[in-house]
Amino acid sequence: MLKLLAVSFGLLGMLWLAVLTGQLTGNLSPSAPVGLYIRAEREQARYVTFCLRADHSGLPFYSRLCSPDIPDGQRIIKQITNRHEDGSLTVTGKVPGSIDSSLIGRIQPDQVRGYWRHWHL
């Protein structure tokens, strides 16, 4: 029993370290698959975390999400559906009304905070 407990705490510690070092993130929002995401190279990533731009400041959700005014705010995670030659991305959410490219336009490279792949257990 103690050995199982030690292994469990060890695994939790490793997961926490991965989060602290930016190698792992999570999502609970329905607009992208719920679960854990592992950092990926830009070309292999299927998901991206990003912040809003200053020109989005009039949108009702601006004040609670990552933006130039709130750099430590909650980052948005969405699926990458198109990569453009200028480095911008088209992103799509899974539910109607998602904060995605249909609402805020292409994601520019300076908005990106991380590239990810979904971790399937």
CATH of the domain at 113: 2.10.109
Give domain status of residue 5, yes or no.
no
pLDDT at 5: 56
Of 119 and 1, more confident: 119
**Mean pLDDT value of segment 61-68:** 94
35 within some domain: yes
Report pTM: 0.82
Percent of the chain with pLDDT over 90: 75
- Report if residue 3 sits inside a domain: no
Among residues 82, 101, 99, the alpha carbon closest in space to that of 30 is found at 99
- Which residue, chain included where needed, has tokens 């792949």? 117
- Structural domain including 53 reads 23-118
CA angle 84, 87, 90 (to 5 degrees): 50
How many structural domains does the chain have? 1
Residue 8 in domain = no
C-alpha span between 48 and 97 (Å, rounded):
18
Per-residue model confidence (pLDDT) at position 120: 75
